[in-house]
Amino acid sequence: MRIWIVDVFTDRVFSGNPAAVAPLERWLPDATLQAIAAENRLSETAFVVPTGLRGNYQLRWFTPTTEVPICGHATMAAGAMILSELEPNLEVVVFDTHAGALVVRATKEGYTLDLPRRARSPWTAPAEIVEAIGNPRVVDAFVAEYANLVLENEQAVRDAKPDFAAINRLVRGPRQGCLVITAPADDGKPYDFVSRFFAPGAGVNEDPVTGSAFADVAPYWCDRFDMESVVGYQASKRGGYTRAVQTLSSVRLHGQVAVYLRGELDPSVARLSNREEEPEAPRRKPRRARKAKQLPAIFEDPLLPGLNGDAAPPPPPTSHPAPPDDGEPPPPRIVVEK
């Protein structure tokens, strides 16, 4: 079982958003897929299974705690590995997913990913949610795939201090516990907008770079700036860029990838289908009764006879033997004076 770890929306390792990609011959039990994702401890692990048609695969995504309905960066990672390593003669791969058909294409600059464009609905964000990110000034809010808050400027996005427990509790809807914050870029920056994505509801407090969140905010900024395409930067600790082009029904994200790891999963992983069972304890021989350890003579204490486990010795004789116990009083002592 092969596995890759791929940094997405970046041209170098240790930046962008890492995702694991595991191609399978057939689907393993959900418990095994979830256990692999938990062991990887990445924001998402993508599993792909061929459908039998050339360039067509089924695709599912798991965080360390749950399966998610869509993940942009892990889809691009899976597409990149198929097009570069599994089927290098192809230029396009189509994934069948819970979110519909997703297409990844190889380009001269890297890869593109087409994600569905979600309709935006106005949203009046509760004050408690705004307080959960440090109470910045909010200039707009809407719901698409996720709940989105538009802040006044780039610094407000960078300075946000999220209360993840509060976000998980307060943000409701189909993507409960997930929140995007975004703002226009400062003048002179090489990107048009900045964003961050918090997803404690999916087991990821802050995602480094999020394709599906870009698909939410990029059309908003295209409309706001009256542009066909925009460049976005996700201001996480790792950071990452994408160029997004909107159409009537989709958002095309352009990005690069950097492979961090190529490896193999042990074949035993496929057999561990029930993670509810406790691991088998190692077998050992039954214990045997042990004799009391004989202490060396150096530890003998004359005041504590029998320390070595032996019977206590009789007391030393006195100068006057004890009288016989015959029930009569002892005879008087006769002292002879000289």
User: Is the same domain home to 234 and 256?
Assistant: no
Residue 92 belongs to some domain of the structure:
yes
Q: Which residue has the tokens 């061929």?
A: 50
Assess whether 159 and 142 both reside in one domain: yes
Which residue matches tokens 């009083």?
329
User: Do both 135 and 226 map to the same domain?
Assistant: yes
Query: Based on the structure, what is the number of domains in the chain?
Result: 2
Shared-domain flag, residues 133 and 190 = yes
> So which residues are the catalytic ones?
44
- Does 74 lie in the same domain as 182? no
**Cα–Cα distance for residue pair 281/56, rounded to 1 Å:** 43
Instruction: Give a yes or no: residue 220 inside a domain.
Output: yes
Q: Which long-range contacts (CB under 8 A, 24 or more apart) does 103-109 make?
A: 104/75, 104/76, 104/78, 104/79, 104/80, 105/79, 106/80, 107/254, 109/254, 109/256
Q: Is 227 exposed, middle or buried (0-12, 13-18, 19+ CB in 10 A)?
A: middle
pTM confidence score: 0.77
3-state secondary structure (DSSP) of residue 265? coil
Tell whether 166 and 261 lie within a shared domain. no
User: Is position 297 within any domain?
Assistant: no
Residue 6 in contact with residue 104, Cβ under 8 Å? Answer: no
Q: Are residues 167 and 264 in the same domain?
A: no
The reply to whether 323 falls in a domain is: no
Q: Are residues 148 and 176 in the same domain?
A: yes
Q: Distance from first CA to last CA of the chain, Å, rounded?
A: 112
The CATH number covering residue 93 comes to 3.10.310.10
Residue 79's domain comprises 1-116+252-274
- How far, in Å, are 61, 62, 269, 306, 338 from residue 275 at the CA level? 19, 16, 11, 55, 101
Report residue 266 as tokens: 């042990």
Q: Which residues pair with 113 in a beta bridge?
A: 104, 253
Helix, strand, coil distribution of the chain in percent, nearest 5: 20, 30, 45
Q: Is residue 108 part of a domain?
A: yes
Q: How do the pLDDT tens digits run along the chain, 338 residues long?
A: 899 999 999 999 999 999 999 999 999 999 999 999 999 999 999 999 999 999 999 999 999 999 999 999 999 999 999 999 999 999 999 999 999 999 999 999 999 999 999 999 999 999 999 999 999 999 999 999 999 999 999 999 999 999 999 999 999 977 899 999 999 999 999 999 999 999 999 999 999 999 999 999 999 999 999 999 999 999 999 999 999 999 888 999 999 999 999 999 998 888 775 555 555 656 666 666 566 555 555 445 555 454 444 555 555 555 555 555 555 555 555 444 54
